[in-house]
Amino acid sequence: MSTGPGRSRRVRPAVVGTVAALALAPAYAVFLPAAWLRTEVRGAEPTAATFHAGTCLLGGCTVTYPHAGEQVTAGLPVGTRAGGHAEGDTVYVRAAPGEPERVALAADTGRGTVAALLAVPGGLTLLALAAGAVRVLRDRRPEGPAQTL
């Protein structure tokens, strides 16, 4: 396979690796903060809240709950599993200490949920590494003495 005039075969894996890293960055930017929030609020006291519908897996649903004598409306993080909840349902949330607008559903703070959130970017990274390894191995020239004609 020709890489074109004047282009080294060693440049291609670096370019592919850079493109893969740039493609994976959004997954890490979305899923790591969502997982961190769930571990951060794990020890907080559950509070009853009113659920407001939206696209919860994409972070579009909210809850309203009382905090320090005021009603706080807070968005739920990406990956929230709110199946079966409808507008106006009572759910239990846990708030980050000192930040009442950072909440997660109390049922969503377990280790399994955090592991699932971390598995998405981790799995994508492993898939990208495997695809890169296959590509590099496939493009490798056979080693051995050159045949003279």
For residue range 15-44, list pLDDT tens digits in order.
Answer: 777 777 788 888 888 888 888 888 888 888
- In whole numbers, what is the pLDDT of the chain averaged over residues? 80
Residue 145 in domain: no
- The count of structural domains within the chain is 1
Q: Does position 5 have pLDDT exceeding 80, yes or no?
A: no
Residue 60 lies in a domain: yes
Q: Is residue 2 part of a domain?
A: no
Domain range for residue 97? Answer: 11-137
99 belongs to a structural domain? yes
Chain centroid to CA 119: how far? 8
Q: For residue range 64-98, list pLDDT tens digits in order.
A: 999 888 999 998 888 787 777 888 889 999 998 88
- Alpha carbon 52 to its chain's center: 23
Long-range contacts of 98-103 (CB under 8 A, 24+ apart): 100/67, 100/68, 100/72, 100/74, 101/72, 101/74, 101/75, 102/37, 102/40, 102/41, 102/74, 103/41, 103/49, 103/63, 103/65, 103/74, 103/76
Q: Is residue 92 part of a domain?
A: yes
Greater pLDDT, 29 or 135: 29
pTM metric for this prediction: 0.67
pLDDT digits (tens, 9 = 90+) for 52-67: 877 777 777 889 999 8
In a domain, 50, yes or no: yes
Phi, psi of 74 (to 5 degrees): -130, 145
For residue 2, is pLDDT > 60?
Answer: no
94 in any annotated domain: yes
